[in-house]
Structure 1
Amino acid sequence: MSGKWKITAVSIALIVLITVNIYLIEKKGSKAERTVFVENWSMVKKDTITDTIQTNGVIKPVEENDIYFETKKNDFKKFLVKEGDAVAAGSSLFEYTTTELDALKANLEAEKTAAEGEIVGIDEYIRKLMASQGALTRDPDKAVIDESVKNNLDINITTSSSDLIKSNIEQEMYKQELEKNSLNEKVKMLDAKLSSIEEQASAIVTTSEADGVVKNINKNLKNPIISIVSTNMAIEGNFTEEEMKKAKVGMTIKASSSDLKKSLKGTIGRIHSYPAEEPSLKRDNRFPFQALIEPEGEETESLLVGSKVNLAVITNEKAGVPAIPIEAVHYQKKPHVYKLTKKGYVDKHYIARGLKAEGKQELIKGPSVGDVILLEPNRVAKNHSYFITPIQFEKVKTATYKKFTSREKVRYLLLGILEK
C-alpha cells in the first residue's frame, strides 16, 4: 500500500504543479503571457549592398562608319574589298574618277597654251630689239627702228642720241628676258599640275579611316556605299522610363551569359535621351544605351556579334555598412526592429534606413554590428517581452542543465510546451 500511496501522492503533486503553472501562464499580465517564441533571427553584419538595374543586352560593334560616294560629280570604277573583309586604317576601299578633274585639266591646259603664246611673242619682240640694236651700231644715221620697239621705249627716238636709244633697248631686252623666264616657270608648274591630274584621272582611291570589318557593300551605289564596323565590341540595350531615372553614363556594368566563361565588366558609355520609337500612349517608352566593355589584355574573350547577355547596371553600392535582412524591419508608424537582448528580452529599436537592395537593409542608425535581430517582428505582441528559442540539442550541455533549479526546469519546460 505504501507504494501505491507514493504513486498517488506524486501524481497529485504533478497535477497541482501543472494546474498552478497553467494558471500562471494564462493569467493576464503574467510573464508567460508576454513570452515570444523566437524561431528565426539574424545578426547585424557589416556587408556590401549593391543596388542594380537588371536588364538584357546584345553584343554589337562599338562603332559603324559609313562611306559615301558622290555619283553626280564622279564616275565609279570598282570595289577593292568584299563584305566580311578585315580592313586597317588606310586600306583601299574603291576606285573612281571625277568629272571635276576634266574641267580643271582643261583650264590648266588653256592657261599653259596662253603662257606658251606669250613666250613666243616675247621671243619675236626680243629679235626685233636685237635687230634695232644692230642697225644703230652699224650706222646710227641710217638705222631703221621697228615701230613696236619705238612704242615700248621710254624715250623720244627723234630727239635722243643713238647711245641713249641703244641703252634703252638693252634695258627693254633685259626686262623681256625676265618676263620670259617667269612664263617658263609658270609653264613648268602647269605641266606638274597636269601630270598630277593625269595620275589621279586614271584612278582615285578612297581609303578606310579606321580598323574594322566590312559589314555591307551597296553595289547599286546607293549611299552609304560601304559600311565598316569596328572590331571592338559593346553591349546595347534599352532602359525603361523608371530605369532611366536611375541610370547615368559612367555607371559600372556586369554582363553574363551561358556562352561566356566569365562575366564581362565595363561602364555605360552612352544613353539616348530620346526613345527608340516615337512616343506613344499605346506602348512604354524604351531608351537605347550602349555599355563599353573593359578589355582584359591578351586573355580577352572573343565575343560573337549578336550574342544575348544578362546585364546588371550598378546604380549604387555601399561596402562595409551595418546591414540586416529586409524582413526584419517593421513599418508600423516608424520603421523599427526588435533586438534580442542578452537578458532574454525582445526590445523595440527605431532605425534610420539607408540603401535597400538584394534583400538587405542598411542601418544608418539603430542596433550595432553583432546585435541579434528578430526576423519575424509582427509576432511581437508587446515591447520588452521575454523570448524563448527552440532547443538546439547539439548545443545543450549537461553541465549547464544541472545548474537550473527544479522549479526553473519545470517552468522552462512548460513555457516551451505551451508556446510551441
Structure 2
Amino acid sequence: MNWKKWTVILVGTLFMIGNLYLIYKKDSEIKRMSYVDTWTTVKKQNLVESQTDEGLITPVEEEYIYYEEKTGNFEAFLVKEGDQVEENTPILELSSVDIDTAISQKELEISRLEDDIAALEDNIDSLDDLLGDIESSITEENESSNTIMANSLEIEIYEKELQVSRLEAELEKQETVLASMDESISSLTIDSKIAGIVKEIRHDLNNPIVTITSNNLQVEATLTEKEISTFEEGMKVVITSGLQKDKLEGTISSISTLPKNEPKEKKETQYSYIIELDEQPSSNIPLGSNVNLKIITNEINDALTVSTKSIQEKGAKSYVYVMMANGTIERRQIETGLQLNHVKEIKANAEEGEKFVLKANTLKNKTKFYTSLEPKKLKKKDFKEMGKRKALKTALKGFVS
C-alpha cells in the first residue's frame, strides 16, 4: 500500500477510536449529546393534487337547421347523413315560388332595424347634450348631486350604445341574407354555418330538419353533489384515450348548476361539466368515445417539501428538529401546507437544503448532536481533492469537536 491508502486507514481508525473513547468514558459529554441516526433534506418540488374521472367526447356545438314554408317551397336535401361539410356548404334547396314574399319580409325587417337604430342614436345625442349641460353647471354647492346625475347619464348612454351595436350587427346580417336572396332569385339555398358532420336529416320535414355536429371536440363528464364543491372552472385537466396516442390537455370551462337528470330523494343528484381542449386531437376520435380524466385540483410549483416523518404535531402547531451548521439541534415551529403521500409542503420557517432529524436517540432543543462514521463512504479521491493539509486539518477539527 502506498502512503495515501495508509493515511485514509489511519484517519478512519483514529476517528473510530476517538469516538469509542468519548462514548464509553465516564461522565462523557457524548452521553449528553443527541445521536442522529437518520435525517432528511428540505427540497423544492412541484406538488400536484389531482382527482380521476371519466368523460365522453362530444362536439363543441351543434347547428340545427329549420325549415319555414314562408321562405320558399322545399325542393331537396343537398347532403346526406354522415357527410362532412364546411362552413357555407349548401344544405337545403328551396323553390323560388315565394321568394318575392320572403324578400319583402326581409326588407321590412331591415327597415325596422334601421328605424330602431336611428331612434336610439337620436336618444343618445339628447343624452350627450344633457350630460354636457350638467358637467358645465357643476359648482361646489351642487357637485355631489350633479356628479351622481352625470354618472347615471353616462351609464345610460353606454347601455344605449351597446343596443345600437347589437342592432347594427343584426342589420348587417339581414342585409347579407337579403343580398343572397337577390343573387339567387331563381333558387334559394340554406347553408351550414359551421364545419362538421351531418348528424341527422328529417325527411318528414319536422324541425329541426337537419342537425350538424361541429368538428371541434370537447369532453363532457359528470360529477355528484358531493364533488361539485371541489371542482372549479379553470382547473387544468389531462385527458387520455386508447384512440389517441398523445395526452390531451384542457380546462374546465363550465360546471352546470342544473341537475343532469330529474332529482330524487335519498339519491345523489348528478351535474355535468365541460372540458375545453387546449388543442384538437391529431387523430380522429369518434363522438361518444370514453376518455380518462385527471383533474388538477391543486398545484404548487417550487414548493419547499420535507418528509412527514420529520414533523411533530402538537395541537394545531407543527415542529421540526433542525441540524444546525454549528453542530446543535434547533427545535423550530413551522407552517405547513399541502400534503401528498409522505411529503408535506412547508410554507414558512424553512430553507432549501436544511436538514431535519428523522430518527435520534434523544431530541432536545439546543443540544449538540453527532452522527455515525461511515468508512465505506470515505473515498480516496475525496482526500486527494482536499489535499493533505486540508484533510489533516479537517480530521483534527473533528477530534477537537
The question of a shared fold, defined as TM-score above 0.5 by the shorter chain, is answered with: yes
Whether 2:309 is the aligned partner of 1:310: answer: no
Which runs of 5 or more structure 1 residues have no equivalent in the other structure? 1-16, 108-195, 409-420
Specify whether residues 234 and 345 from structure 1 end up closer, same or farther in structure 2 by C-alpha distance, changes over 3 A only.
Answer: same
Which residue does the alignment assign to 1:370?
353
Q: Does 1:278 align with 2:262?
A: yes
Distance 1:55 1:262 in 2: 18
Q: Does 1:331 align with 2:329?
A: no
Shift of 1:85: 0.7
- Whether contact under 8 Å (1:50, 1:358) holds in the other structure is no
Distance 1:292 1:338, change over 3 A: same
Conservation of the 8 A alpha-carbon contact between 1:235 and 1:291: yes
Question: Any conservation in 1 of the 2:236–2:295 contact (CA below 8 Å)?
Answer: yes
Opposite residue 37 of structure 2, the aligned amino acid is: V
In 2, are the aligned partners of 1:349 and 1:367 still within 8 Å (CA)? no
Shift of 1:311: 2.5
Task: State the secondary structure of the residue aligned to 1:302.
Answer: coil
The answer to whether structure 1 residue 322 and structure 2 residue 304 are counterparts is yes
Q: In the TM superposition, what are the counterparts of 1:68-147 in structure 2 within 5 Å?
A: 68-70=66-68, 76-96=74-94, 101=98
**Counterparts in 2 of 1:391 and 1:217: CA distance versus 1, 3 Å:** farther
SS across alignment from 2:376? helix
Please show how residues 54-73 of structure 1 align to structure 2 within 5 Å. Answer: 54-70=52-68
The alpha-carbon deviation at position 358 of structure 1 amounts to: 6.5
Match of 2:129 in 1: none
Shift of 1:271: 1.8
Q: Which residue of 2 aligns with 1:226?
A: 210
Equivalent pair of 1:38/1:387 in contact (CA under 8 Å): no
Q: Is structure 2 residue 253 aligned with structure 1 residue 269?
A: yes
Write the letter of the residue equivalent to 2:306: I
Q: Structure 1 CA distance, aligned partners of 2:297 and 2:49? A: 6
The CA deviation at 1:76 is 4.0
> Partner of 1:261: helix, strand, or coil?
strand
Change (3 A) 1:102 1:210: closer
| 2:191 paired residue among 203, 207, 210 | 207
1:348 aligns with 2:331: yes
Aligned letter for 1:228?
Answer: I
Q: TM-score, normalised by structure 1?
A: 0.55
Provide closer, same or farther for how the CA distance between residues 310 and 381 of structure 1 changes in structure 2, counting only shifts above 3 A: farther
Unaligned runs of 5+ in 2: 1-19, 105-180, 384-390
Q: Which residue type is aligned with residue 347 of structure 2?
A: I
- Contact 1:59–1:303, Cα closer than 8 Å, also in 2: no
Quick one: structure 1 residues 389 and 58, their matched pair in 2 at CA, closer, same or farther if it must change by over 3 Å?
farther
* C-alpha distance 276-376 of structure 1, shift in aligned 2 (>3 A): farther
Q: Percent identity?
A: 28
| Superposition deviation, residue 282 in structure 1 | 3.2
Contact 2:244 2:285 in 1 (8 A): no
Letter in 1 for 2:294: A
* Preserved contact between residue 63 and residue 230 of structure 1 (Cα < 8 Å): yes
Q: Which amino acid aligns with 2:76?
A: K
**1:372, CA displacement in angstroms?**
1.1
Report the structure number with the largest CA radius of gyration: 1
State the one-letter code of the partner of 1:38.
D
- How has the CA–CA distance of structure 1 residues 102 and 45 changed in structure 2, closer, same or farther, with 3 Å as cutoff? closer
C-alpha distance 278-390 of structure 1, shift in aligned 2 (>3 A): farther
Alpha-carbon contact 1:352-1:366 (below 8 Å) kept: yes
Deviation, 1:371, is 0.5
- Comparing 360-369 with 341-350, greater Cα deviation is found at 341-350
What is the rounded CA distance, in whole Å, between the counterparts of 1:33 and 1:278 in structure 2?
71
For residue 65 of structure 1, what is the amino acid of its counterpart? Answer: E
* CA displacement at 1:278 relative to structure 2: 3.0
How many residues of Structure 1 are paired with residues of Structure 2 in the alignment?
288
Cα distance in 2 between the residues matched to 1:375 and 1:215: 63
Relative to structure 1, is the Cα distance of residues 33 and 220 closer, same or farther in structure 2, using a 3 angstrom cutoff?
Answer: farther
Aligned-residue CA RMSD (Å)? 4.4
1-structure distance, mates of 2:69, 2:211: 17
Q: From the two aligned structures, give the one with the greater strand fraction.
A: 2
